[in-house]
Structure 1
Amino acid sequence: MRAHLQVQQWNDTDWRLDPENWGWRLQNDHIEPCMFDLSHAPEALLQIVRCKCKTSCDSRRGSCRKHGLTCSAACGGCNSITCSNSMVSREEVTEQ
Structure 2
Amino acid sequence: STDTLDSLRFSRFQEKVATNKDSVHPKVLPTTSAAAQYHCLRVFHQVQDWKGHKLDPLEWGWKMTDGKMTPVHPDLDAALEYLIKLVRCTCKVDCSKMECGYRSISLACTVPCSESTSVCANGNETEDGSNLHTNN
TM-score scaled to structure 1, two decimals?
0.39
Q: Which has the higher helix share?
A: 2
TM-score scaled to structure 2, two decimals?
0.29
